Structure 1
Amino acid sequence: MPTPERTSREAIVAVGRELLEAEGLAGLTMQAVADRVGVKAPSLYKRVRNRDELVRLITEATIDDLGEELRKAAAGPTDAPSLVAALALAFRAFAHRFPAGFHLIFAPGPVGTRPSYDAIVASSLPLLEVAGALAGPERALDAARTLTAWANGFISMELAGAFNLGGDVDEAFAFGIRTLTTALQAREVAQAVG
């Protein structure tokens, strides 16, 4: 069994993320993490203060990974509508790969489990930039929130199996992207003309 000195915070967080995806938030216990890392549960407290801190660290690691996926997606297209589509598709793909982590990012929780402001800002930059290109710099945050709220709602419903009326869910997602992009662009054009 590894000694606590050989057990890193990064390893604990990685195992916690695996457990979260396999067992859900209820299965993410200090004992379960300790068992998988190969130490006794009290040894974890030398690296992680408590379960709330572990949840926060997992949330931040998940947000960091999502931000990296969004940066990669934003590196390809050059026009704003294509960028919105690339970011939305990357957001959705990430949620499908890590549904429990995705849910954790947007779920309310105790203050001690919430990610840092810096982690949120860093992961949001690609979306804020394209939102500014669509709706203008003064409305970038509003546009980014609108896009995020729609995508999160759509994806959360999809992951919950809530789309039961038939139809092509992929096409519905693409329709939503096109509709929001057009609406945000039309708003910017209307402001420029008016």
Structure 2
Amino acid sequence: MPTPDRTSLEAIVQAGRDILESAGIAGLTMQAVADRVGVRAPSLYKRVRNRDDLVRLITEATVRDLGERLATIGAGTDPRRDLAELARAFRAFAHARPMGYQLIFAPRPDLGGPSTEALTRAIEPVMQVAVNLAGEHHALEAARTLTAWANGFISMELAGAFKLGGDIDQAYEFGIVRLTDALDGRPPN
């Protein structure tokens, strides 16, 4: 097995993120991570204080990942289109990393949640679109409304709560259009 010096914190966190997605929070053990990176479990403690610290690091990495994905959506000249693209990217992220998504938006009290600083950086693109769509005065409220709606929809979707049939993708798009209409505080052209 490689020595601990050859195992980076980044590799440990990535292994933890992958294990979280495949085995859930219960399967995220120091032993499982050690096996994945090819060291003995006690060697991990040279990089990570304990499992809680590992979960915190995984949560922070997941928040950064979300922020990086949202940042790829540039604030263009059409804030309505930008809002739709952000909402779609948010949902795509949740589907790609559902367990990590839950660490961000449904943190367990025993595990803590992401730092305010990390969340603030991650949602900068949402805030910019909110400013462009709803105006500076209502930007925070608009960003919170968008995030709450998207999170509620996605959380229900991931939990399998939509049992009445119909096209879930179509329902999400319907919500994007209606929410955009409601948040658009710009004067009509």
Q: Matched residue pairs, number?
A: 188
- The answer for the alignment partner of 1:9 in structure 2 is 9
Q: Deviations over 1:108-135 (max 9, x none)?
A: 2347642222211111000001111122
Tell me, which stretches of 5 or more residues in structure 2 are unaligned?
none
Offset of residue 172 of structure 1? 0.6
- The answer for the alignment partner of 1:82 in structure 2 is 81
Given the superposition, is the C-alpha separation of residues 13 and 126 from structure 1 closer, same or farther in structure 2, using an over 3 Å criterion?
Answer: same
- The answer for the alignment partner of 2:121 in structure 1 is 122
Q: Deviations over 1:140-192 (max 9, x none)?
A: 11111110011011011111111111111111101111111111115x659xx
Identity of counterpart residues, as a percentage?
65
Given the superposition, is the C-alpha separation of residues 111 and 139 from structure 1 closer, same or farther in structure 2, using an over 3 Å criterion?
Answer: farther
Structure-2 separation of matches of 1:122 and 1:30: 29
Select the structure that is richer in helix: 1
Offset of residue 105 of structure 1? 0.8
TM-score, normalised relative to structure 2: 0.93
The reply on whether 1:179 has 2:139 as its aligned counterpart is no
Aligned Cα RMSD in Å? 1.7
- The answer for the alignment partner of 1:159 in structure 2 is 158
Structure-1 separation of matches of 2:156 and 2:173: 15
Structure-1 separation of matches of 2:160 and 2:112: 27
